[in-house]
Every structure is written in C-alpha cells, then in structure tokens.
Amino acid sequence: MEDAQIAQVAEDFEMFFRSEYRAVLGLAISLSRNRSVAEEIVQDAFLIIFRDWARVSMMHNPSAWVRRVVVNRSISILRRRATEAKVLPRMRSASGHHEDPSVEDAMDVWRQVRRLPRRQAQVIALTYVLDLPRAQVAQVLECSEETVKTHLERARRTLARRLTR
Amino acid sequence: MDIDLRLRRAAEQLNESLAREPMPETPMLGRDWRPSLVGAVAVVLVFVSALFLLARVSGIQPTDDLEMSDLRPVSLGDTHVWPVAGRPGQPSEVAIAFANEVLGWESPSSWTESQADLSGPVWVRVSQAGGGSVPLDVLTEQASNGGRVLVEVRVAWGTPTSVRSLAPDESGSMIVLVGVGGAETADVTIRLTSGQQMVLSADRSDIASGRLALPEISDPTDVRTVLIRWLDDENQVIAATSN
C-alpha cells in the first residue's frame, strides 16, 4: 500500500473515531459500572475496528457496527481486577458536584438501567443516550422494531417501579 | 417524575459531562503516527500486546453480569469445560459437583453406565428432581493431574453447542443456540485462546433467532470453551450445554 493510501486510511479512521467516540463512550458509561471500564470498552472496540478497518469502512453502516460491539461488551465486559480496584466514577469527580442532585439522580438511573436484562438495558441506552429512533436501535441490535418496542416498554415499567421506591 | 423525562435528563447529564471533556487522540494512531504500513502494524501490535499482558497479569473476572442474576461466575478450562484443574473422585462425583457448584442444583442425582471403563471417557447423566430442569449428559475424562474433568455438557439426547463465523457479509462469530424448552434467558461464558473469559447473556430474542452474535471475535477458532447456562423465568438454571 502506498504511503498516500495509508494516510488516507488513517484520516478516514480518525474522522470515524472523532464522530463516534463521545457517543459510544456515553453508551458504554451508561451500561457499565464505571468510567475506567467504559473507556476500556471503547478503546477495545476501536482497536477491533482499526484492525478490520478495510472491511468495516466498506460496510453500509459502520456506526451501527461499533455501537453493537460496544453495547455487547458493556454488558458482558471482560473485567479486570485491577480496573475494578480503581473504581471511581469520573462522572462524579469530573463535575465536582457530589451533592448535585441531578448527577446523583442520573447515576441512580444508570445504576438501575444496568440491573435490567441485557437487551432492555441496551435498548434504553441506545434510545436515550444516543437518541436513536426505534428503527436504528433495531438495526444496531439486529432485531425487529417490535422487539425494541417490547423491550422499551418493559424496561420503562421496571425502571418506573424501581426508581420510585 | 415521569420515567421518560427522568431517563432523558439522565442522558442529557451524561452527554453534557462528556461534551465538556477534551477529545482524546485517536488511540491507535497517536500524535506521532506516520503514514507507513510498518508503523501502523507496530502500533497495533504494541497495543494488542499491552492489552493481553494486562489481561494475563491481572486476570479476567467475569463479574459484570452478577448484578443481573445470582449465577456464580465459572472459570472454564482451556481444553475442557470444568473444573480448571482435574478434581479427584468418581465420574459421578465430579458431575454432581458441577451440578451443585456451577448450576446451583441443590440435590442432583446421577446415573453412570455400570460397565464404564474409568480410564477412558465416561458419560454421566445428571438430573434434579422437581422444578423444570432438564436431565443433562456430561462427559468426564481423566485429567493430566490424575483427577477428572468435564469435557462436554449437553442436554440428554441433545447436541452440543457450536461456534461459527457469521455470514460472509458480517464481521465476527456467533454461537449457535439450540434452544432448551422453558428457557427464558441464557448465561454464556466464553474462554478465548488468549486465556480471557467473557460472559454474555442471551435473551428470548437471541434464543428465538438461534444464535448469539459475537462481532468482536473475528475468528471463531479464537473461542476455546463455551458453557451456556439456560435460565427459566425465575433465574434458575434448568440446563447447560457446552461446545
């Protein structure tokens, strides 16, 4: 491969990374228990994509692909003890407002989302964090829109019950 | 407060806090990346090596799903299912220990063919009275340490699990899910050739589709061992299958 071609590949990948990074990090944070793990998931996901970029970049929707990798890994992440030990949700420390009720409430919401069955949690994260319409959620999760609707309804019911206790 | 509104606010809070953060460098390329193939390959190799080194040093703990079910995490063997090191005892004893410790069955019973040659592979049927559980056939074998291990688990008269490539136009692998009657969800533990373990859960839609996609595992041969624990609607293990 010529240098110019490689530079073009790098540029394409860089653009993809920049356009997707925050979205998938938000997804990973909402679905995994701490920020460090979420960053690790996102790093892993982009590494996988980088290795297979020639193929992924030709896909109809590479964004859906990276999101699928991240939602899968977020729920069933390869956990490392070392990472677990330094659990300190930076979502708190970065904002510096431990007492901020909106931060506390958001953390409480995501804690409850993570207790949902896997698919329900994924549907909630894709719907709310990425603000995806039902059709796109279905595309990421490789299921029907009807399934997404069912998961969403069940998840909302469960969350409403748990969060009002 | 309405749950929809609360979720929207939680998402806004999360997205706003992320928007305030500086964008990191593209991790695979870095600031000093130069457009040369050798450089790119080297960067990837170093990054991958570091990941695997970290994984080996610190060990992988499949703990994330613990919040979602009461299932105990299980460590799988490289060339067999369970336990990691051979356990002393008769085939039936190891099979019962598996049912107790891995499946959470309180009073399982076992049946071993009377003419079995204990120096070779021995099938044991394990079942649990009551409940909706399904009888299992487990194949035990002598391990190098003189103990016994399970090399295969399947629903009695059923077939084992397999791992395959996804369709040619998709990237990744998949686990074929041969459904078990009464199973609502499944807990899937996977051991990779790297020694890493991951835990996935399959829900009804996965089970209905007959597969669990693993887009992050490009080569199905990277998967060494798979153990699927099938759960009913009360999160009780009713069956298990391995590859």
Structure tokens at B92: 């039936």
One DSSP character per residue, B95-130 reads HHHHHHHTT--SSEEEEE-TT--TTS-EEEEEEESS
Q: Do B10 and A106 touch (CB under 8 A)?
A: yes
* A82 or B218, greater pLDDT: B218
**Mutation for B interface: A5, A53, A66, A76, most B CBs within 10 A:** A76
pLDDT at A84: 33
Contacts of A124 in chain B (CB under 8 A): 7
Instruction: Kindly state the percentage of chain A with pLDDT values over 90.
Output: 5
Q: Do B54 and A72 touch (CB under 8 A)?
A: no
* A155 or B50, greater pLDDT: A155
State how far residue B91 is from chain A, nearest Cα, in angstroms. 32
In chain B the first and final C-alpha atoms are separated, in Å, by 47
Q: Do B17 and A115 touch (CB under 8 A)?
A: no
Cβ of residue A67 closer than 8 Å to a chain B Cβ = no
Tell me the pLDDT tens digit for each residue of B82-135. Answer: 999 999 999 999 999 999 999 988 888 998 877 767 778 888 999 987 767 888
Q: Is the pLDDT of residue A74 over 90?
A: no
Tell me the pLDDT tens digit for each residue of B16-53. Answer: 888 887 777 776 655 444 444 444 444 444 454 454 44
SS3 A59: coil
Cβ of residue A87 closer than 8 Å to a chain B Cβ = no
Please give the Cα distance from B16 to B238 (Å, whole number).
44
